Amino acid sequence: MVELKVRKIGNSLGVVLPREVLSRLSTNEGARLYLTESPGGGYRLTPYDPSFEKKMAKAEDIIRRYRNTLSVLAR
C-alpha cells in the first residue's frame, strides 16, 4: 500500500504519485488516468479507459463472428 497526501496545487487539490506508482501504471507526465468506483465503495486508478475497453470487446466479437466476410472485403 502506498500512502498519498492531498496537497494544494494552485487553486485545486491534488496528489503526487511516487515514481514507483507511475512505473507500475506505465504512465508519465501528461498521460490520462481514470479513477473508477469499485464495488464495495473504493476507487481504482487505471491508465485504461473502461468505456474504450467495452467498445474494443464488442469490436473483437464482431471481428470473430464475421472473420470470413472481413477477409473477403480486405482483398
Other CB atoms within 10 A of residue 44 CB: 10
DSSP string, 19-41: HHHHHHTT--TT---EEEEPTTS
Q: Residue 2 has which C-alpha cell?
A: 502506498
pTM recorded for the entire structure: 0.56
pLDDT digits (tens, 9 = 90+) for 14-67: 999 999 999 999 898 888 898 888 888 899 888 887 778 788 889 999 999 999
**Inter-residue contact 7 to 16 (CB < 8 Å):** yes
Using pLDDT thresholds of 50, 70 and 90, give the confidence band for residue 9: very high
